[in-house]
Every structure is written in C-alpha cells, then in structure tokens.
Amino acid sequence: MIRIGGAGESRCYRLRSVIQGRGCHVDYRRDSTFESTVVFVIYNITVSTEKKTYYQILGLETDVSAIEIKRAYRRLVKIEHPDLDHRNKSESERLSATESMLALNVAYETLMDKRRRAQYDLTIGLAVASGLNKTYQFRKTSEDELREVYLAKIFHPSRLAVTKVLSAYKRQIRLLSQDPFDDELIAEFEAYVNQVEVALAKSSNALAKKTVPATLEAAVHMMRHCIAQAADGLEELRHFCQNYDYDHLAMADNLFRIASDLAKQALALTRSCS
C-alpha cells in the first residue's frame, strides 16, 4: 500500500497505468483520514527497476544508515517528483517521472523498515537466512550519531531553557507594572531574575561541556551569542533591582528580543546544516 498526498484524478490514472503495465492489480481510494491523500492498494507488485537494487535506485551503498537513506530519498524526490515542472513535460516524460517516483517510494519504504530490509537483503544475496532471526542493525555513521545525541541531550534542552525564561519577560513586566512598589511583586520579579541567571548559566555550561559536532558548530556559535546577549539583559535587570531605574528594563527588553531572534537563527542552522 502506497500513500501519495495531494494526488489529482489525472495523476492517479497515470500512476495506475504505470503500475498495471508492470503486471500488477491495482486500485486506489481517498484516505478516510486525510482527504487529500490517495491510497494505492497494489497486489503482487513486482516493480521492474531495470535490474537495479533498491540501494542503487537511491544511489547508496549497501551498508548505509537510516539517516543516509532518508537524506538520499529527500534529495531524489526534489529531482524526480512528477509534479515538478509538470506543464512543460510531455506525456511520456510525465509517465517516466511517475514511474521513477514509484520506484523511489518502494525502495525507501523497504529499506527504512528493518525487517523488510533484512528480507530484501536476503533476496539479493546480502544476508544469510539465519540473520532474519535477529533485528536488522543499520550501520551507524559516527558523525550522525554524535549530531543526534548532541541535539537531543544538549542543544535543544539548552535552547529551550533560554527561550523559556526570555519569553516570560513580558508577563513579568506586566505584573510589575501593576504596582512597582509592591513588595510581593518586587520579590516575584527578583525571583524571575534569578531564574534567568540559572537558565543562562546551565545552558552555557552545557554547550561548553561536550565537543560540538562539525555540522553543528555554526548553530552552537549562534546559541552562545544568544546567551551573551541575554546575559547583558540580565545585568540590566540586576541594575533595576538595585536602583529601580526603568531605563534598565527597556534595555533588557531590547537585549532579550535580540537574544530570542538569535535563538531562532540557531535552530534554523541545525536544520540547514543537516
């Protein structure tokens, strides 16, 4: 069963023609959950790939990791998708693109499923039968592993801690403005200032504790710049707590805004450098 989002009737007809040309029985229907998704139900599918293996279709070696498979698939989809430049393609070119997309989908779905990949490897002579009793183990790329661990354990938690205290600043100012001389409101504001200091210190220490993967260096550098700006804002808040000069709050607001923008840029860099 293959799902294709946003498929119109004409595209469904073309894709069904391609699959039936391979000697398969095929039908399609609208997905009951996602109306724009078409579900193709294919029986006895034997997609010919001109003797290419699924690995070759994706342009990969046979010991690739799951992350490498996903990257290759995304790259090829941007090239082979039937909807790309649809109007300027001839009918034969559109059918060829649809056929290529189908082959990519089958290859990707098979290789991303550990059990199905193990079975497929057996059919093309890459695995022994006894290996099917074990969970298929992808070869891990050390850099990819380090990157994913660093993001999950260090970068994202650190960034979240910083953005959380920065986003709370407006609320704290609104509360304080109710009565700037109220002892309880002042105490609550000072407690918030302490929370900012703790969050910045922990995040800064966490980012400095481990070696940064090469692909994340730009993002971490941006995050450190974010923390530095927030630390300057924190200093302005400390000055306010000493002399109650509201100019310090305005300065802190500006610095926190800059820090928030830098945190967004840091997150964007983790995606663009993957």
229-267 confidence digits (pLDDT tens):
999 999 999 999 888 898 999 999 999 999 999 999 999
Could you tell me the CATH number of the domain that includes residue 112? 1.10.287.110
pLDDT at 141: 54
Residue 211 burial (10 A CB sphere; 0-12, 13-18, 19+): exposed
Q: Which residue has the tokens 């990157």?
A: 147
The CATH number of the domain where 167 resides is what? 1.20.120
What's the pLDDT at 127? 57
Give yes or no: residues 147 and 132 share one domain: no
* Widest distance between CA atoms in the chain: 83
Q: Compute the half-sphere exposure of residue 135: CA atoms within 13 Å on the CB side of its CA.
A: 3
Residue 51 falls inside a structural domain: no
Q: What is the pLDDT of residues 2-49, one digit of tens each?
A: 444 444 555 555 555 555 544 444 454 554 444 444 444 444 444 443
For residue 59, what is the DSSP state? T
Distance (Å, rounded) from C-alpha 113 to C-alpha 105? 12
User: How many residues are listed for the chain in this entry?
Assistant: 274
pLDDT digits (tens, 9 = 90+) for 127-181: 554 444 444 445 545 677 888 889 999 999 999 999 999 999 999 999 988 887 7
The pLDDT of residue 182: 85
In tens, the pLDDT along 53-85 reads: 999 999 999 888 888 899 999 898 888 777 777
| Residue 161 resides in a domain | yes
Tell me, yes or no, whether 2 lies in a domain: yes
Residues 74 and 187 in one domain: no
With b for 16 or more beta-carbon neighbours within 10 A and e for fewer, the 25-58 pattern comes to ebebeeeeeeeeebbbebeebebebeeebbbebb
- Structure confidence by residue, pLDDT tens digits, 91-117: 888 788 788 888 889 999 999 988 889
* Domain, as residue range, for 122: 57-140
Confidence of residue 124 (pLDDT cuts 50, 70, 90): confident
Residue 191 has pLDDT above 70, yes or no: yes
DSSP element (H, E) containing 40: strand 37-43
Q: Which residue has the higher pLDDT, 190 or 37?
A: 190
Number of structural domains the chain divides into: 3
The H or E element containing residue 60 is none
pLDDT at 155: 96
Distance CA 99, CA 95 (A): 6
